[in-house]
């Protein structure tokens, strides 16, 4: 539950704001002056504070400073009259979340509270992730003992301690965001914000507004001053995902920001100093994009101080069993299931699959199988159809043989891999059970079949 404090010496405005927020589902406590609020805040921190700058006992900016020193993640929303907007802007520069001008509309109050609550939720999630750092100093979300991943872990530990820009080049689903989060969490910026922004699919104007922020009146609809994501990440890390999709004209502006370490809000005249680390990520070959004229070379070298290439899942197959059991544990909690593992046959199908969607696709496959299975273990028939095939040519002699001999070898391999489970073999071969029995007899593939599995 989000707790809210409303501080305003005007009783009517105070009660109205509280009533609107309570109706929206927040727990609200009101204060007519600043000192009683600060005493309560020291005893029990509020999540969101609606703060009037003009109070009878203490200045609003001083209260803001106290709040941030007590609980840095509390989101302070300044409520001000038209005569003190300049002070409200100063407050946002000192850490206030945003400001509203009186008289405040119900819609604006609820919208501002909702946005502040989203930011609080993100901070709490980051705190939760930080608390899951394992004994090796990495997030528990990382699963892998392969040499490829151990090399990545070593690089992350080293890079985290150096205040430089990082370029992550990796396919979709390999863990770019998790890697960036680990670099942030293991470095000196770990107690500051981690901010994510996807550069794909947005116009230059929207990217500019989101990253740089804007002043009130900078363009039609800019009713308030807005702090950009780069500025909001003060002291922390910004992950710019899909950086290759950023328009060329916007790349020029980002390059200037990286060079000067300052940002100028849209419509603003005073640059704001930035103390942040930039991590850029892309699923494309950024150097090739430079050659094709799609990405600025100077920006490429600014971002590519250290480059980390995350391996595809097909390059770290040794980690698949670990990942499978990790995802089974997840789906058991999410779906309230009690799946105890995966059959050897199903695991082998996964071990031979190429995984174009990488780790994210593997998680989706396990979710699919867990949702459909009626067994306590995942079986080949529970997996998506695209996986239910055996790489029948593995370890088969390259000598050219008759078709019947090849069919015999293939059938023998399938039966061996399924431990002569007729149901599983039929599912893989996509032939009637009677046909399989006839071919077993024809080729004299003699084995003793497990009880109950031949009917």
CATH number of the domain at 406, please.
Answer: 1.10.10
**Is the domain of 415 the same as that of 278?**
no
**Is the domain of 200 the same as that of 237?**
yes
How far is Cα 404 from Cα 260, in angstroms, rounded to an integer? Answer: 73
* Alpha-carbon radius of gyration of the chain: 29
426: left (phi over 0), alpha (psi -120 to 50) or beta: alpha
Structural domain ending residue among the three candidates 127, 148, 170: 127
Closest alpha carbon to 173 in 323, 365, 361: 361
The parent domain of residue 73 ranges over 3-127
**Is the domain of 264 the same as that of 334?**
no
CA 105 to chain CA centroid, nearest Å: 34
**Is the domain of 188 the same as that of 215?**
yes
**Whether 226 contacts 206, CB under 8 Å:** no
**Is the domain of 232 the same as that of 190?**
yes
**Is the domain of 248 the same as that of 169?**
yes
**CATH number of the domain that 306 lies in?**
3.40.50.300
**Is the domain of 91 the same as that of 223?**
no
Structural domain ending residue among the three candidates 311, 337, 368: 311
Tally of domains within the chain: 4
Is residue 262 classed as helix, strand or coil in its secondary structure?
strand
Is residue 59 classed as helix, strand or coil in its secondary structure?
coil
Structural domain ending residue among the three candidates 91, 108, 127: 127
In a domain? residue 133: no
**Is the domain of 99 the same as that of 162?**
no
Q: What is the full per-residue pLDDT of the chain (455 aa) written as tens digits?
A: 789 999 999 999 999 999 999 999 999 999 999 999 999 998 888 999 999 988 899 888 889 988 988 887 899 998 887 666 777 788 888 888 888 888 888 999 999 999 888 888 766 754 553 444 333 334 446 788 888 898 999 999 999 999 999 999 999 899 999 999 999 999 999 999 999 999 987 888 888 888 998 888 777 777 788 888 999 998 999 999 999 999 999 999 999 999 999 988 888 778 889 999 999 999 999 999 999 999 999 999 999 999 999 999 999 988 898 899 889 988 999 888 888 888 888 888 898 888 989 999 999 999 999 998 988 889 988 998 888 654 444 444 445 556 677 777 778 888 877 778 888 888 788 788 888 888 888 888 865 444 344 44
**Is the domain of 231 the same as that of 275?**
yes
**Is the domain of 232 the same as that of 105?**
no
> Tokens 């069919």 map to which residue?
407
Q: What is the pTM of this model?
A: 0.56
CB atoms within 10 A of CB 328: 20
* Beta-ladder partners of 156: none
């Amino acid at each position: 539950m989000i707790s809210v404090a409303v501080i305003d010496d005007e009783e009517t405005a105070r009660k109205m704001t509280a009533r609107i927020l309570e109706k929206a589902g927040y727990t609200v406590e009101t204060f007519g002056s600043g000192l009683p609020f600060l005493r309560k805040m020291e005893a029990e921190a509020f999540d969101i504070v609606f703060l009037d700058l003009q109070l009878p006992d203490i200045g609003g900016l001083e209260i803001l400073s106290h709040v941030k020193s007590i609980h840095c993640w509390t989101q302070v929303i300044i409520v001000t009259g038209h005569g003190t907007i300049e002070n409200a802007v100063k407050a946002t520069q000192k850490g206030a979340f945003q400001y509203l001008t009186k008289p405040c509309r119900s819609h604006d109050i609820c919208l501002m509270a909702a946005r502040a609550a989203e930011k609080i939720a993100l901070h709490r999630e980051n705190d939760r992730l930080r608390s899951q750092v394992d004994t090796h100093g990495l997030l528990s979300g990382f699963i892998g003992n392969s040499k490829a991943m151990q090399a990545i872990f070593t690089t992350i530990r080293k890079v985290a301690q150096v205040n430089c820009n990082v370029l992550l080049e990796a396919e979709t689903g390999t863990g770019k965001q998790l890697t960036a989060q680990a670099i942030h969490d293991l470095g000196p910026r770990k107690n500051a914000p981690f901010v994510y922004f996807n550069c794909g699919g947005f116009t230059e104007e929207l990217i500019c507004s989101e990253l740089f922020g804007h002043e009130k009146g900078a363009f039609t609809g800019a009713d308030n001053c807005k702090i950009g994501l780069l500025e909001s990440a003060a002291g922390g890390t910004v992950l710019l995902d899909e950086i290759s999709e950023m328009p060329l004209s916007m790349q020029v502006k980002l390059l200037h920001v990286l060079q000067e370490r300052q940002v100028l809000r849209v419509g603003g005249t005073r640059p704001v100093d930035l103390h942040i680390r930039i991590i850029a990520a892309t699923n494309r070959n950024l150097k090739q994009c430079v050659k094709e004229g799609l990405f600025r070379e100077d920006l490429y070298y600014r971002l590519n101080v250290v480059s980390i290439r995350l391996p595809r899942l097909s390059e770290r197959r040794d980690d698949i069993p670990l990942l499978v059991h990790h995802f089974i544990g997840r789906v058991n909690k999410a779906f309230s299931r009690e799946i105890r593992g995966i059959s050897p046959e199903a695991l082998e199908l996964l071990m031979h699959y190429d995984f174009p969607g990488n780790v994210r696709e593997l998680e989706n496959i396990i979710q699919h199988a867990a949702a459909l299975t009626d067994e306590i273990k995942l079986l080949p028939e529970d997996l998506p159809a695209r996986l239910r095939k055996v790489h029948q040519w593995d370890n088969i002699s390259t000598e050219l043989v008759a078709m019947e001999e090849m069919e015999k070898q293939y059938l023998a391999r399938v039966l061996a891999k399924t431990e002569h489970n007729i149901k599983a073999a039929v599912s893989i071969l996509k032939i009637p059970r009677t046909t399989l029995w006839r071919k077993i007899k024809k080729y004299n593939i003699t084995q003793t079949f497990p009880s109950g599995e031949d009917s």
